[in-house]
Structure 1
């Protein structure tokens, strides 16, 4: 007689092993609070996540084929990090979920098909990092100003024509990356961002920087406007530029003293000496 272990147990890859594998996976999620679902070709999130809603802290379902999020996302009240980059989402997070995701600190939605961000995103009161790179956004909701804990906002490679004035209410914001859009101006309200250190606006249509921003953003050390039609001489003659320039040079000198490698540009002026007549926005 043959060994029953060889003939009775399902072989690896047999459909009969799936319930066991799924249960084992769910137990792991429950114990660690982390669900890793990257690169699995998923069209929807597994319902099993709802069963561990009270303990799930991190959900990473990047590089799948998700087109929408299920309603049970609203039950993930312990979730702190939600990473959904590289999917096919057209709107996220679900408006009805925002009020319940009260623990969320990191939301990454890069490389999707987002054409809008729901106004309810302003209810994510503990959100510290919001990344929306490479989507189809034409505007941002005014409600972003309610994100009092926000430290980093990345909206590069979209189709934004403007930034909401209400961003000036995000008092803890330190980094704002809006490269590769269609921005023609910088909101003067950003002057209220006393912690803002980095403002990246390369490859937009910006011709000037408000003096209020140069004066008011007292922590600003990096202002990048490469690929914009702003003229270096005009920037340097803007009131407040001298104060900003001193902070920029101080940062550079500290980096040199610490042995940091700063690349081929060295002390980057933040603008191009040879400015084209019209700078393109986001790539087509």
Structure 2
């Protein structure tokens, strides 16, 4: 598939666009290093994306909070916080605060049972310094995997029994069995390994067929894999640093980045869209237990 069908959603260009989520008729995404949560609605006219939250720290990814309109749970700065427009972050956990080296949260998603999973990494991408964290519905934090370098995802199948997790620096996507009741992870199983000329696996999402879509940083592509790890589709994107992918409203969306491009092209950092027949489940929400 050629890259000609992509169109920018707005004139804005983002330093490090990430975390695309389609929710209630709008596309939500972050500019990670600038620490801004944006949203954009198709047909909104010439105006740019709307700022939904700006917590004052790097912002990796968010998920909506069930029963609390306008509230988001976020992988932010050194941990996980609840965000509301115009308000200060309400921290649930700051597991990377005071670490031996500067750390930040990187990517995140909820599973279908309403738990929030977030990754962390060293600011300088020190090998093995990153982790995967889980915040349960009661707000309790758990560090569930260590030894990661640049962890991206996670993404879950519709049943919540399989989690996909990329370590971008290693070019590896692993799958884990998940106990949907407890959130306990099974051991990592290699799912896809990408060669050095294929780009690095970044943000991911699972469609309604159970196929995994992966943004390939540095390669200007999005790959689609079936549940056995077979490559089913490769979609070209007209700028190299593709960072996340989402589906909604008859479109496929990707975020891209200006970050680490010495000579950015005219679409670097844009949020891009193209028509698509692919559909995906509604974005999973964080479901806090009643107090």
**Shorter-chain TM-score range:** under 0.3
Provide TM-score, normalisation by structure 2: 0.24
Q: Which has the larger radius of gyration?
A: 1
Higher strand share: 2
Write 1 or 2 for the structure with the bigger share of helix.
1
Q: Which has the higher contact order (CA 8 A, sep 6+)?
A: 2
